[in-house]
């Protein structure tokens, strides 16, 4: 089994052959059959990014996108003990930055946002989602985004099930499960600013104390209430999805091809279990 460094070297070689020498993805994969499954989506993403880079947005948009990205870069870097994107291998950093700087806000990303797994722009959609998760700083913000991405995965499952593609339904279900697990982890064991839930409001039988003068502590209390409100809103969203998503897949199950039904049942089970964990964590 090749090491991560060896794989990076193989990927670098394939990227050069694909983007510089004009070879095809299939030619690269033939030389590295053992790594083909891992290489293929990465090479597809790089090829889509290359094609999209030919789109020339207005100069003011490029300047604005560059400024926004650098601002986010500096803000996150100042709050982390390790370099921004330091957990990513070199190739992933390059592809991510290319996508953010060249595509963010452009027509390609807008089109990719509505793409389905059988569309060439789908790898751009997944990569853009990962960028959004990386740039979202707060845990509750990441959790909210995970819920949104779970909603996207359900729509994709319905689309692919109607086409009878059980293999794609299985792959999307894995992505769905990953987001639901991440959602539950982000909101579990997270008390608002370390305060117990019972301490968020004074006991009913006690008169509230006089309003204190504005202070740093008062600002901290406002943050506590704001975070509690964010959690409450997120719980409402998750509770709605916990009802609507399984119901939508059950409706598709009745009329989907027989070949797709086992994968759909698996997706329904993942939804029910995932939302149950998330709701318990949010209580």
| Structural domain contains residue 165 | yes
Residue pair 113/128 in contact (Cβ under 8 Å)? The answer is: yes
178 token code pair: 């990953």
| Structural domain contains residue 242 | yes
| Structural domain contains residue 10 | no
| Structural domain contains residue 227 | yes
Residue pair 278/183 in contact (Cβ under 8 Å)? The answer is: yes
pLDDT digits (tens, 9 = 90+) for 176-204: 999 999 999 999 855 433 434 433 333 34
Residue 228 pLDDT level (bands cut at 50, 70, 90):
confident
| Predicted TM-score (pTM) of this structure | 0.57
Higher model confidence: residue 229 or residue 177?
A: 177
Give 14's contacts (C-beta < 8 A, 6+ positions apart).
28, 32, 39, 43
Rounded CA gap, 173 and 263, in Å?
Answer: 8
| Structural domain contains residue 74 | no
- CA torsion angle 185 189 193 199 (round to 10): 140
Q: Which residues of 111-131 are buried (b: 16+ CB within 10 A; e: fewer)?
A: ebeebebeeebbbbbbbbbeb
Nearest to 85 by CA among 72, 101, 104: 72
Residue pair 154/176 in contact (Cβ under 8 Å)? The answer is: yes
Residue in this structure with the two tokens 């819920």, named with its chain if needed: 147
Higher model confidence: residue 217 or residue 277?
A: 277
Is pLDDT of 35 > 80? yes
| Structural domain contains residue 224 | yes
Domain ranges, residue 261: 139-191+219-283
Is pLDDT of 95 > 60? no
pLDDT digits (tens, 9 = 90+) for 118-132: 988 888 788 778 878
Count of structural domains, the chain: 1
Going from the C-alpha of 281 to that of each of 30, 57, 162, 199, 213, the distances in angstroms are: 47, 44, 33, 18, 35
Predicted confidence at residue 73, as pLDDT, reads 46
| Structural domain contains residue 178 | yes
| Structural domain contains residue 37 | no
């Amino acid at each position: 089994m090749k090491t991560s460094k060896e794989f990076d070297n193989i990927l670098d070689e394939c990227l050069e052959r694909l983007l510089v020498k004009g070879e095809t993805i299939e030619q690269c994969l033939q030389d590295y059959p053992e790594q083909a499954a891992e290489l293929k989506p990465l090479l597809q993403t790089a090829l889509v990014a290359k094609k999209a880079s030919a789109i020339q947005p207005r100069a003011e948009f490029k300047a604005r996108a560059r400024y926004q990205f650098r601002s986010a870069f500096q803000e996150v870097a100042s709050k982390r003990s390790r370099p921004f994107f330091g957990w990513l291998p070199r190739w992933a950093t390059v592809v991510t930055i290319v996508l953010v700087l060249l595509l963010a806000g452009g027509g390609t990303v807008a089109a990719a946002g509505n793409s389905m797994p059988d569309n060439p722009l789908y790898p751009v959609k997944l990569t853009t989602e990962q960028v959004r998760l990386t740039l979202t700083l707060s845990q509750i913000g990441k959790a909210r985004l995970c819920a949104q991405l779970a909603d996207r995965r359900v729509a994709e499952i319905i689309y692919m099930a109607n086409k009878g593609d059980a293999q794609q339904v299985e792959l999307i279900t894995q992505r769905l499960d990953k987001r639901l697990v991440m959602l539950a982890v982000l909101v579990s064991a997270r008390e608002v600013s370390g305060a117990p839930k019972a301490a968020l409001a004074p006991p009913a039988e006690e008169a509230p104390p006089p309003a204190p003068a504005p202070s740093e502590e008062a600002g901290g209390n406002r943050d506590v209430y704001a975070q509690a409100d964010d959690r409450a809103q997120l719980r409402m969203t998750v509770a709605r999805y916990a009802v609507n998503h399984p119901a939508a897949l059950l409706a598709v199950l009745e009329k989907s091809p027989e070949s797709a039904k086992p994968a759909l049942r698996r997706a329904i089970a993942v939804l029910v279990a995932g939302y149950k964990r998330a709701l318990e964590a949010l209580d």
